[in-house]
Each structure stands twice: as structure tokens, then as C-alpha cells.
């Protein structure tokens, strides 16, 4: 992936922040696979664009799962990174996702509250019926905003940000995300993606103190394109 490709996917950039539309095949930070992460691609882009000597600073504010697409925030200064981390902990960064599911949800809109337990060895999150020392409360709201002959489009607003939260909670109500074998979908997508997209992120700029609302177009595939055209976005 070259710097020009990254440039085509930048959703917002200034001296303090850089927001990028992540591809479903990318990892945000380096992991045991050894694949080049999105963070390193962005560092290369910044180094080339601004002719920066030496190491480029880039802070990862948050991550989304490898098979998931959508908007990710990076910090270009330590000041903005520190402030964004505080905002994230305080719940001051609002995240909205789109998910394509095969089965209709129990209602057109609802609030889901569950106790989640993460199995780190299996890299999977499970829902428990009761709270205990190993669980975390997970909360989200969803609204059905589109449908096709075979699928439904849900818009999800995260109240909490837990490991695999959306994937686990939607699966729990009988709506596993298209392509998500780990959480109960019948078959995988050919490219290894799942149809979960970080659609929108909104927050107050940590330095300029102005509101930002950044929207990421979904990946270019027939199903995403159908829903995008259906709701005129």
C-alpha cells in the first residue's frame, strides 16, 4: 500500500489529528502477524508529504478489529494524544457503526445491555447472564435504517467500548454480522471482511476546541453500495 492510497482515504487532517478510513484487511497497530499496520503506512505518508527527517510521531487513539472497516483517529502530537485518551475514557468521543445482518432484529430499535467476558486465549467475547468480577457491562443502541431482499442494515451507537462488543451483542439477539464466522454467521466473506463499518465519529477537537463530525464511506462492494444508495449517502 503506497502513500497515495492512504491519501485517498484520509477523512480529516491538520497539524494535530489525522482520521483515516480503514480497509477491512488492515490492522491498526502491529501484531504477531508481522503485517504492515495502518499506523506505519500513515507515518510513511506524513514523512513523504511533509518531507520530515527522522522518526515521525503518530499516536494510536483507538483501534477497530482487522475485518472491520471505517474511521480511525490518529494523533499527530503528544498533546492531542493525551487529550484524546482522556476524552475516550470520559466517553466524550461518540462512535456510530453500520452493521449488515441476515436476520431481522427483534425490534426496529432497542438498547442492549449485557455482561461481557473476554476469553483472551480464543480472542473472543462471551455474554454472561450475571455480573461477576470477570465481566464488563456493555451497552449500545441500534436502529434498523435499511433492508434489502436478504439483509438488514443496523445503525449502532456505542455507549461503551468493549472488546468485540457489537459482534457479540448482535449475535446474542440472533443477528450475527454478515461474514462473522466467529460470532455465528454461517459463512465467511471471500475477502475475510465482516460487514461492520465504523461509519461516524464525533468529538470536540482536543486543541482547536471546535466540534468535529467525520463520516466514512463504506467499502465498495455490491451490498454496501446497495444500502448506501438506498439511504442516499
Which residues does the annotation mark as catalytic? Answer: 65
* Distant-in-sequence, close-in-space partners of 60: CB < 8 Å, separation ≥ 6: 28, 29, 39, 74, 75
pLDDT tens-digit readout, 73-128: 999 999 999 999 999 999 999 999 999 999 999 999 999 999 999 999 999 999 99
Task: Report the CATH number that the domain containing residue 69 is assigned in CATH.
Answer: 3.30.2350.10
CB count in 10 Å sphere of residue 150: 9
Cα–Cα dist 192/161, whole Å: 23
- Indicate the pLDDT class of residue 232, thresholds 50, 70 and 90: low
**Structural domain for 223, as ranges:** 3-230
* Residue of 95, 49, 56, 96 lying closest to 75 (CA atoms): 56
pLDDT tens-digit readout, 35-61: 889 999 999 999 999 888 888 999 999
**On the CB side of 213, how many CA atoms lie within 13 Å of its CA?**
1
CB 115 within 8 A of CB 127: yes
pLDDT tens-digit readout, 2-27: 434 899 999 999 999 999 999 998 99
pLDDT of 3 = 38
Specify the number of domains making up the chain: 1
CB 179 within 8 A of CB 193: yes
CB 116 within 8 A of CB 168: yes
- Indicate the pLDDT class of residue 64, thresholds 50, 70 and 90: very high
* Residue of 159, 128, 125 lying closest to 142 (CA atoms): 159
Average pLDDT over all residues of the chain: 93
pLDDT of 45 = 94
pTM of the prediction? 0.93
CB 139 within 8 A of CB 113: yes
Cα–Cα dist 120/201, whole Å: 27
Amino acid at each position: 500500500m503506497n502513500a497515495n492510497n492512504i491519501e485517498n482515504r484520509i477523512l480529516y487532517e491538520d497539524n494535530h489529528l489525522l482520521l483515516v478510513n480503514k480497509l477491512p484487511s488492515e490492522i491498526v497497530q502491529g501484531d504477531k502477524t508481522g503485517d504492515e499496520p495502518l499506523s506505519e503506512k500513515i507515518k510513511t505518508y506524513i514523512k513523504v508529504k511533509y518531507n520530515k527527517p527522522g522518526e515521525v510521531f503518530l499516536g494510536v487513539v483507538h483501534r477497530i478489529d482487522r475485518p472491520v472497516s471505517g474511521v480511525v483517529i490518529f494523533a499527530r502530537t503528544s498533546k492531542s494524544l493525551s487529550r484524546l485518551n482522556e476524552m475516550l475514557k470520559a466517553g466524550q468521543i461518540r462512535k456510530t457503526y453500520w452493521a449488515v445482518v441476515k436476520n431481522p432484529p427483534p425490534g426496529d430499535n432497542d438498547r442492549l445491555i449485557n455482561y461481557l467476558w473476554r476469553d483472551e486465549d480464543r480472542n473472543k467475547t462471551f455474554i454472561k447472564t450475571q455480573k461477576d468480577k470477570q465481566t464488563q457491562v456493555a451497552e449500545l443502541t441500534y436502529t434498523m435504517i435499511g433492508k434489502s431482499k436478504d439483509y438488514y442494515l443496523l445503525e449502532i451507537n456505542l455507549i461503551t467500548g468493549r472488546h468485540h462488543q457489537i459482534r457479540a451483542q448482535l449475535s446474542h439477539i440472533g443477528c450475527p454480522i454478515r461474514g462473522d464466522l466467529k460470532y455465528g454467521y454461517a459463512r465467511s466473506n471471500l475477502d475475510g471482511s465482516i460487514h461492520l463499518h465504523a461509519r461516524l465519529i464525533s468529538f470536540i477537537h482536543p486543541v482547536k476546541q471546535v466540534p468535529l463530525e467525520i463520516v466514512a464511506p463504506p467499502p465498495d462492494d455490491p451490498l454496501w453500495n446497495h444500502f448506501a444508495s438506498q439511504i442516499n449517502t
